[in-house]
Amino acid sequence: MKPIFACLLAVLFPVFSFGQTVPTTCEAPDSVKMLYEIDAKVLAVESMQGTSLEDSVIIPQDLIDEKLELLLAVHNAFGLAARDTVVECLDIHNDPNLYSIRHVVVVVESGTDWGDSLIDGNSQSGNAEVDFLLETYGLSLLDHYEIQSSVWLTFVADQEYNTPALAKLFLPVEGVIETNNEYAFCIAACEEITQEFPAVDTFVILKYWGCLDQSCTSFRVWEFHLPIGCEEVEFAGSYGSEFWEFDCGPLETAGDFSVFTKFEVSPSPADVGFFTKITARSNMQGRLYLVNLPGQILKSQEIQLQGGIGNETFFETSHLPNGLYFLTLKLDNHFFTKKIIIHHR
């Protein structure tokens, strides 16, 4: 649990003239780098648009490394209360579904033979162009639905790509009306990390958009300036909904923390599954809920907790798409929620 002072400081002093600056580094162990791997790839793909790289399906590794260094610089900016808020309290990351780097949507005319073949469950479409793309980029049909005289086919790749470029490769195929990589949409605000490049080329701006409730109708933005060279980070200010929580964010404070001493979830990001470890102060019954971003309960599991020991529960996630999820623990009439990122490798 973070100290009261640390989590409130970034809100009590939101003006851009505050200009808190601390030294930092872009070095980190692999366990930390892994936390920001997807964020770095999302930022890399975004920065490829409108440049000579926009038609490259492969994301250049040097560009991913460049974005990862920016993220690590903020992560390592110890001494900034705002860093504690976005890294420790709210744990802000990009949802890979909202700016998808694995999904491609192909809209085809109803009755298109190759589309119908895939919908019928065949691994090959019968169209040479389509089958080449499916094999080359490890694409498989994830979902489909009809709208009037068209069928929307959603494909998922076996790794991350510059999906706007990948989607364009389907445009010359017979029966294709349009393509995009818009797998999911943000109804209100989105939890994400964005980048901006000011007119002067001496620093880069990273903005952390934090959801303060599960529907993200309340959100706040924290802005960091990162001078070239990876030596220091400046917290420029924050704005948006008020953030007045007394510990690790509103997603974890809707209850009485005296009923347990530990609520841990690992690993995150999760691949095939994750473990919860809960230490209650006394014997009690509870329930765990796994909830997706739109608020649907995907799994509900009753748990029996023995007081004073770590009670472990395993949740399988191999069947769930990549993205941001919420795990809510109910004890008596108290609710405690943690965020889980699922990322299949």
Whether 170 and 272 share a structural domain = no
Residue 245, in any domain of the structure: no
Q: Which residues pair with 239 in a beta bridge?
A: 221
Q: Are 36 and 83 in contact (CB under 8 A)?
A: no
Q: CA 115 to CA 133: how far, in whole Å? A: 14
What secondary structure letter does DSSP report for 89? Answer: I
Half-sphere exposure of 252 (CA within 13 A, CB side): 19
pLDDT confidence bin for 214, thresholds 50/70/90: low
233 is a domain residue: yes
Between 61-75 and 37-48, two packed helices, what is the crossing angle to 10 degrees? 120
Give mean pLDDT, residues 119-137: 96
| 267 within a domain of the structure (yes/no) | yes
Position 231 in a domain: yes
* Domain-located, residue 314: yes
Q: Specify whether 163 is located in the same domain as 226.
A: no
- Give the tokens for residue 112: 């298109």
One domain, residues 71 and 10: yes
My answer on whether 304 and 337 are in the same domain is yes
Q: State the residue for tokens 């529960």.
A: 313
Residues 8 and 92 in one domain: yes
pLDDT value of residue 128: 97
Q: Does the structure show a pLDDT above 80 at 314? A: yes
Q: List alpha helices for the chain, DSSP H.
A: 4-12, 30-35, 37-48, 61-75, 81-83, 113-119, 128-136, 163-168
For the chain, percent of residues with pLDDT exceeding 70: 83
Provide the CATH number for the domain around residue 146. Answer: 3.30.70.1140
Are both 68 and 19 inside the same structural domain?
A: yes
Tokens of 58: 């492969």
pLDDT for residue 277: 87
| Domain end among 162, 180, 198 | 180
Q: Is residue 159 domain-resident?
A: yes
| Total domains in the fold of the chain | 3
Angstrom distance (rounded) from CA 42 to CA 203: 20
Residues 76 and 112 placed together within one structural domain of the fold: no
- In a domain? residue 248: no
Amino acid occupying residue 289: Y
Check pLDDT > 60 for residue 169.
yes
Q: Does some domain include residue 56? A: yes
- The answer to which of 21-35, 159-173, 282-296, 312-326 has the lowest mean pLDDT is 282-296
* Spatial CB neighbours of 267, under 8 Å, sequence gap ≥ 6: 274
Q: Which amino acid is at 273?
A: G
**CA-CA-CA-CA dihedral for 275, 281, 283, 289, to nearest 10:** -40
Per-residue confidence (pLDDT) for residue 7, from 0 to 100: 35
Co-location of 135 and 12 in the same domain: no
Q: What is the pLDDT of residue 183?
A: 60
Average pLDDT over residues 304-330: 84
- Do 213 and 75 share a structural domain? yes
Asked whether residue 306 carries a pLDDT value surpassing 90, the answer given is no
Looking at residues 82-90, what average pLDDT do you find? 84
Q: Among candidates 37, 23, 92, which has minimal Cα distance to 230?
A: 23
Question: What distance in Å separates the CA atoms of residue 206 and residue 43, rounded to the nearest whole number?
Answer: 10
Beta strands 176-180 and 103-109, pairing class: antiparallel
For residue range 226-260, list pLDDT tens digits in order.
998 889 999 999 888 876 443 344 334 344 455 56
pLDDT tens profile 51-79 = 999 999 999 999 999 999 999 999 999 88
- Quick one: 285 and 331 in the same domain? yes
Would you say the C-alpha torsion 14, 15, 20, 21 has a positive or negative sign? positive
Q: With beta carbons less than 8 A apart as the criterion, state whether 17 and 60 touch.
A: no
Number of CB atoms found within 10 A of residue 288's CB: 18
Residues 151, 281, single domain; the answer is: no
Dihedral Cα 37, 49, 165, 109, nearest 10 deg: 120
Threshold 0.75, pTM exceeds: no
Domain range for 311: 254-342
CATH number reported for the structural domain that contains residue 275 in this entry = 2.60.40.2550
Please count the other Cβ atoms lying within 10 Å of the Cβ belonging to residue 57: 17
Q: Give me the chain's average pLDDT, please.
A: 83
Can you read off the two tokens belonging to residue 55?
């038609």
Domain match, 161 and 211 both: no
